[in-house]
Amino acid sequence: MKSKMKKCFSILLLMMLIFPTFAFATGEEDASVISWDVKLRPYADHLEINLIVRNTSDQPIQLEFPTSKFYDFSIMDDKKEVYRFSKGRYFLQAFQYINLGSGEEKKWTMNWDYKNKGERVAAGNYTLIATLLPSKIDNMQGKNQLVAKQAFTIPAIHDIQIEGSTGNYTITGIVEQPLNERFYYTVDDGHRLIVAKRIMPISKDSNSFELSLQLPLEIMSQNESLIFSIYTEKDEPAFIERLKK
């Protein structure tokens, strides 16, 4: 009887040791110690992309990658892929490691010029889907890939140029029709508005626009630099550039 009880106890102890290890190896626990996020800023001529992995645990962790391809992302127009980061790129075929202390983050920043096969894609709504690609987290192998996505809008104006100096400027650009939104512009010195928000003079019948901007000489002399900005209807910056003095 004692022999049977001892045998059952041994089996139970073995199961307690095995099953927690199995659950951890699935990657569910691994993935919970990190967060993966994407933050976007769409400008007139490029999309600023920030990909961020953070250690959300109270212990240091190590991410292992089988190559230098730490992540990948695609740009989707509804269900159609219009751009993939990794396409046509070569990656170092050697293990790479990222060590993160508790609360520490690693950020990758890059720009996309809105082009697919050399041609600018149409203005409108898109979604970026980004995947973090570690093969192991703290030496545990499992379902460690994390996916994050964010929607964004490519502005209908682009190729913006500013000509002129000493307070007299001409701003030109290209417009994609049909134009379904308004754009606004401002001028500031980094601390205060010099020209308050005004509607960009863009015609719905034209594929281009031209804005004449005159600033008093006293404004130019009082400020080391002035900044011209264009905003979308959602008050998001689409274009920012310093004016020549």
Contact 42, 156 (CB under 8 A): no
User: Which stretches of the chain are DSSP H helices?
Assistant: 2-25, 28-32, 217-222
CATH of domain 26-154: 2.60.40.2360
| pLDDT score of 17 | 40
Per-residue pLDDT in tens (0 to 9) along the chain, 245 residues? 445 545 544 544 444 343 333 222 233 444 578 999 999 999 999 999 999 999 999 999 999 999 999 999 999 998 799 999 999 999 999 999 999 999 999 999 999 999 998 999 999 999 999 999 999 998 887 666 899 999 999 999 999 999 999 899 999 999 998 878 899 999 999 889 999 999 999 887 888 899 999 998 888 888 788 999 999 998 999 999 999 88
Please give the Cα distance from 51 to 73 (Å, whole number): 10
Please give the Cα distance from 133 to 206 (Å, whole number): 45
One fold for 26-154 and 157-243: yes
Tokens of 56: 């959300």
Query: In whole angstroms, how far apart are CA 146 and each of 33, 156, 165?
Result: 11, 32, 49
| pLDDT score of 219 | 85
- Domain ranges for the chain: 26-154, 157-243
Q: What is the Cα 119 distance to its own chain's centre? A: 21
| pLDDT score of 22 | 26
Contact 158, 44 (CB under 8 A): yes
Centre a 10 Å sphere on the Cβ of residue 177 and count the other Cβ atoms it contains.
Answer: 12
| Domain 157-243 sits in CATH 2.60.40.10 | yes
| pLDDT score of 179 | 79
User: Which stretches of 102-163 are DSSP H helices?
Assistant: none
